[in-house]
Structure 1
Amino acid sequence: MICELLIPGCRSLKEKRSQIKPLVERLHREFNVSAAEIDRLDSRDNTVIGCVMVSNQHAFSEKYMQQVIRFIEDHYQNLQIIHFRIEWY
């Protein structure tokens, strides 16, 4: 899954990373997915987070990634999801 996030009011890269790092760590802990900031690393007010998991059941994976998106929406109201997409390989 690739998720583009807006961080309104963020004034520095340090402030951005102080908000993104806990999100990435919590996604790993709560959902056991591999997550990382994968793009827009030098932008202070938006970022792209990538989350991956391995499963042999397409329906389960899709439902699980939808839960990740809902978790971000519910627990990180300071971040706005601009766009997300789920890819399968």
Structure 2
Amino acid sequence: MIVYAECEYFIPTAHSLKEKRAILQRMLTRTKQKFNVSVAEIDHQDTWQRTRLALVTVASAREAADREMMRALQYLASNPAWEELNVWRDYV
């Protein structure tokens, strides 16, 4: 089972692309290390207060893939440096 998710965040503390990338890089690295997911920024690369991330996880059972994705999304949402705007999920 493959679970794909997109999530969009507003980063009010970022006042430049450099600040945004520092926040984003830290969260992407930690998410990849803690959870069995792949994650990348897929939109708003040149906008300094917004980002859209794509996450993918693969498991033999839907429940396992869904659980891992939920844990990763909850971790990302817990970051106090940004506000979650939208989350979309799909199953393949």
TM-score normalised by the chain length of structure 1: 0.90
The answer (yes or no) to whether the contact 2:37–2:69 under 8 Å persists in 1 is: no
**With CA pairs under 8 Å and 6+ residues apart, which has the higher RCO, 1 or 2?**
2
Counting helix residues as a fraction of each chain, which structure ranks higher? Answer: 1
Counting strand residues as a fraction of each chain, which structure ranks higher? Answer: 2
**Runs of 4+ with deviation above 2 angstroms:** none
Give the number of equivalent residue pairs: 88
> Where does structure 2 lack aligned partners over 5 or more consecutive residues?
none
Amino acid at match of 1:79: W
> Where does structure 1 lack aligned partners over 5 or more consecutive residues?
none
The answer (yes or no) to whether the contact 1:33–1:52 under 8 Å persists in 2 is: yes
Structure 2 Cα separation of the partners of residues 49 and 25 of structure 1: 13
How high is the sequence identity, in percent, across the aligned residues? Answer: 27
| CA-atom RMSD in angstroms | 1.2
